[in-house]
Amino acid sequence: MVEHEPSDGQSIVGTTLSRSSRIAVWGGLLVASGGFMFVVAAFVSFGWMVGWISPTSPGYEMFAEEYAVKRLRNMFLALTAPLGALLVAAGLPGVFPLLEMRSNGRISMAKAGVYLALASSLCAAALTVYESMPRYFERNPAEFLASQSAYAASFLGWMIGVALVGFAAFRARSLGAWKSSLTPLAFLCLPARHAALLLMYATGFLPFTAPGFAFAALIEVPRAVGGIGWILFGLALSKAWEKELETTRKENLALVRRFYEEAWGRGRAELVDDILAPDFVDHRRGAEGAETFKNYLADLRATFPDLTLDIHSQTAEKDEVETRCELHGTDRGGVLYYPPTHKHVAFTAVFTDTMRGGRITDHRGEIDEAALFEQLGHENRESGAAR
């Protein structure tokens, strides 16, 4: 049995997957934290509308010393919604590793959505700080309308960014039903109170002088529900990577088994194009491309026309599959430069294949050349007998 040490490429793959695991886990925790902030934001906004929390107000109290503390407190409370949006946007890259495991994972779309969501949430936070700055005079209507419009537009941009990530997340199968929840959750967390106030201020329609309990609940309960939804989504995201690895492991085992049993064992070279990636590399032979590998299989079957392959065992770890197998065949074409011996031989091999996006990208391994040459009656003068 041939033992082989992992190459530098295999070590890099292991490091990459470890980093992907951390990205998914921490991304889920950030999203869950953002959901918690949205729940707090809903409670704060509800408290402001029903009078449980006193907001800042322009007037002579601005000159009082205690006003600075009050202003900072209200600034922090007002920042809960933008902070929730920022934490969610910062955690959404946790979806990237799940998409990278899939072919055509729409990773570019997801990245564009994250960038838009991050920029929009930062803009909303900056506008909130600006609105909390001390004023020594009443804000004019145009200034108020512009700042509120910009705040609403920022959250709308955040929702569009999250929706883009949500559209890409349909490829993240390990999220289960949660993969379709991003856009609805983003819509629930939009600042409905600001939108309502902006609409009433712009149109002059004031159905109330002080919002009551029912109206406040109607406005803020959806955001609280959305915040709870983000918490649950974040928890699902933090666990999705392990599910993705397990699902991918099973698929990789099935793909590699098909590769050896069908393409190698039964000579179905037409399957190679579906199984091997366009950038496939055969490290064992120093060759690249699926077409080159099909030529190799054709040469192998020319040497052993009745070649069969039996898989003894397979082990999968991360995105690699190790296959231990035994090959049987009659030498009718001649190995290397030797003439055909017409002897039936059986020799073992250990192969390691690396997968990405549902296809094999790298092939490594060794065959038991000593046993092969001994059975054929040749001297093992060269390595690479099967070449």
Query: ∠ CA 6-7-9 to the nearest 5 degrees?
Result: 120
154 vs 20, higher pLDDT: 154
Mean pLDDT of all residues in 156-163: 94
Q: Is the pLDDT of residue 1 over 60?
A: no
Q: Which amino acid is at 208?
A: F
How long is the chain? 387
Query: Half-sphere exposure of 285 toward its Cβ, with a 13 Å CA cutoff?
Result: 19
Distance CA 330, CA 343 (A): 5
pTM of this prediction exceeds 0.85 = no
Q: What is the DSSP string of 86-118?
A: HHHHHHGGGGHHHHHTSTT--HHHHHHHHHHHH
> For the residues of 338-351, what is the DSSP string, one character each?
SPP---EEEEEEEE
Distances (CA, A) of 121 to 9, 166, 169, 312, 387: 39, 17, 20, 55, 59
Q: Which of 78-82, 124-128, 176-180, 383-387 has the lowest mean pLDDT?
A: 383-387
The confidence score (pLDDT) of residue 219 equals 81
Tens digits of residue pLDDT in 214-233: 777 878 898 999 999 999 99
The vertex-131 CA angle with 135 and 58, nearest 5°, equals 40
Mean pLDDT value across residues 94-117:
87
The two beta strands, 276-282 and 359-367, are: parallel
Residue 288 has which token pair?
A: 């690249």
Report the distance separating Cα 211 and Cα 202, nearest Å: 18
- Taking only the tens place, the pLDDT of each residue in 245-286 is 888 888 889 999 999 998 888 888 888 888 998 899 999 888
Lowest mean pLDDT among 39-53, 152-166, 296-310: 39-53
Question: Between 3.30.70.260, 3.10.450.50, 3.20.20.70, 3.40.120.10, what CATH number should domain 265-376 receive?
Answer: 3.10.450.50
Q: How far apart (Å, rounded) are the C-alpha atoms in residues 126 and 229? A: 26
Q: Round to whole Å and give the CA distance between 236 and 178.
A: 8
What residue spans define the domains of the chain?
8-248, 265-376
Average confidence (pLDDT) over 64-91: 81
- The region of weakest confidence among 61-75, 137-151, 198-212 is 198-212
CA distance 192 to 322: 55
**Residue type (1 letter), 277:** A
Quote the pLDDT of residue 302.
87
Instruction: Give the pLDDT score at 384.
Output: 44
Whole-number Å distance between alpha carbons of 263 and 248: 21
pLDDT of residue 193: 64
Instruction: Please calculate the CA angle 212-218-220 and round it to the nearest 5 degrees.
Output: 95
Nearest CA-CA partner of 171 in 109, 89, 250: 109
**Residue 311 confidence (pLDDT):** 93
**Dihedral sign (CA 173, 174, 180, 183):** negative
- 171 vs 25, residue with greater confidence: 25
pLDDT of residue 186: 92
